[in-house]
Amino acid sequence: MQERSSVAELAGILRTELNRYSPGEKLPSSRALVDRYRVSPVTVSRALAALRAEGLVVTRPGAGAFRAARPRAAEAPRPGDTSWQEVALSVETSGESVPRSVDASGVLMTLAVPPPGALELHGGYLHPSLQPERALAAALARAGRRPGAWDRPPIDGLSELRAWFAAEIGGRAGALAPSEVLITAGGQSALTTALRALAPPGAPVLVESPTYPGALAAARAFGLRPVPVPVDADGVRTDLLEQALRATGARVFLCQPLFQNPTGAVLSAERRREVLRVAREAGAFVIEDDFARRLAHEDAGPLPATLAADDPDGVVVHVCSLTKVTSASLRVGALAARGPALERLRAIQVVDSFFVPRPLQEAALELVGSPAWPRHLRTVAAELRARREALATGVRRDLPELALRHVPPGGFHLWLRLPDGADEAALTAAALRAGVSVAPGRPYFCAEPPAPHLRLGFASAAGAGELAEGLRRLRLACDEVLR
């Protein structure tokens, strides 16, 4: 059971049992609760903290936890009138061509924590059992002891960390210099900075279709107009990309060439060359979101170089991070660019956030330089392959009406096509009622989707057993909605 589920369940049990105690009476000790409910001391501590935050218990250092005295009923605060904000947030100037509202629903969908007891097959982060928790803790401890660890870092990031990312992005040929890399607060931050830097409000930006909802939300939040370019098994359709660049006059194309989210497609060698050619001829930038390079599976084989490594002319602006392969809280990433674009990226990042906190950069540097790092990558590669195979096999055996047309050798998800006319919203709702959280396909399209889809993730599950149980629950939902 995941830690957050254990905490919620224990808090619920203790909340019910509080009626057995008088106000001020001492609750069982933490050790007793650990033994009684077969949970960890951390779970007990977090459950008691939740009850303390609700005002139900008080804790006294060295004495234990006690039922809180019954609070005197407080008068409910008078609700204010915030209706004026609708006008203030919506008034547009005469030259404003895009709405000012921000739709974060697609992003929130991928970040949402399912209710207690529901299995998570929609998430985009590693399950705690796959995270390098010991290595991260050791790296953070070593980082805290580094001289100047709490000093202000260089604006562009620590030079050693920039050099490491430059080598990772540029490959063995050394196609990228450390001076062409900026350290960012994760991949999403890098992506939003790139979009703001390269396209003015109201401009079209070409995106793969389907694509990552966070990219669509970021583009729209800055007043950009996403224009879809279809993806097939070999990546983006470069013939349609060329047409879209001519038709729209767009100067930015955002893509994920490796293990694309959500399709898992890898851009073919021929199309890699075509993407760079048509973008260069159109005078357009290519934002390369390389989010999944460190999520290659054990059987992936040699990976293609980044687009940035094959581009000496500054067409490609490269985005990557350490977050996906470590922890959602290690928000350290990189932006790589050349020429005047780099200066604009740097300026926007400074205005937005000044810099990435130095202790986090130091910890990241300690982590990637430790012997634990390659071991962790090997472990993740093997585990993701095993979970992918378990999920793909189960889908084909138990859910044959959900078409699985491509099994990617990297990433953390499968992309399933539903039968024509299926109501994906109804299916995801039924799945949640059955106790499994899955992602509907609609948020991955910036225009009308060609068909209903589901995205199933396998990285956020505890293992093969949980994946099998998730498919069993999804089967119940399919029987309800697709019959």
CATH number at residue 273: 3.40.640.10
Do residues 244 and 120 both lie within one domain? no
What pTM did the predictor assign? 0.81
Q: In this structure, how many other beta carbons lie within 10 angstroms of the beta carbon of residue 246?
A: 12
Q: Which backbone phi and psi does 224 adopt, to 5 degrees?
A: -85, 160
* Residue at 93 is within a domain: no
Do residues 224 and 353 both lie within one domain? yes
Residue with tokens 């019954």: 70
Do residues 350 and 439 both lie within one domain? no
Do residues 348 and 382 both lie within one domain? no
* Residue at 380 is within a domain: yes
- Single out the residue in 368, 386, 412 at which a domain terminates: 368
Q: Between 41-53 and 30-37, two packed helices, what is the crossing angle to 10 degrees?
A: 110
* Residue at 180 is within a domain: yes
Task: Give the integer Cα–Cα distance in Å for 418 and 361.
Answer: 43
pLDDT at 157 exceeding the cut of 70: yes
* Residue at 391 is within a domain: yes
- Determine which of 27-36, 107-116, 196-205, 323-332 has the lowest per-residue pLDDT on average: 107-116
Average pLDDT, the chain: 88
What's at 249, amino acid-wise?
G
Residue 426: both structure tokens together: 């109804």
Angle at 13 between CA 9 and CA 18, to 5 degrees: 145
* Residue at 451 is within a domain: yes
Q: In this structure, how many other beta carbons lie within 10 angstroms of the beta carbon of residue 273?
A: 13
* Residue at 139 is within a domain: no
Do residues 228 and 345 both lie within one domain? yes
* Residue at 89 is within a domain: no
What pLDDT is attached to residue 100?
59
In tens, the pLDDT along 277-286 reads 999 999 999 9
Do residues 174 and 36 both lie within one domain? no
Place 392 in a pLDDT band, splitting at 50, 70 and 90.
very high
Place 440 in a pLDDT band, splitting at 50, 70 and 90.
very high
Do residues 198 and 270 both lie within one domain? yes
* Residue at 162 is within a domain: yes
pLDDT at 3 exceeding the cut of 60: no
Q: What is the mean pLDDT of residues 78-107?
A: 64
In tens, the pLDDT along 136-155 reads 999 989 988 888 888 889 89
- Single out the residue in 368, 383, 408 at which a domain terminates: 368
Domain of 33, in residue numbers: 3-62
Do residues 279 and 382 both lie within one domain? no
How many domains would you assign to the chain? 3
What pLDDT is attached to residue 22?
84
CATH code, domain carrying 390 = 3.90.1150.10
Do residues 303 and 432 both lie within one domain? no
Angle at 38 between CA 35 and CA 40, to 5 degrees: 90
Place 118 in a pLDDT band, splitting at 50, 70 and 90.
confident
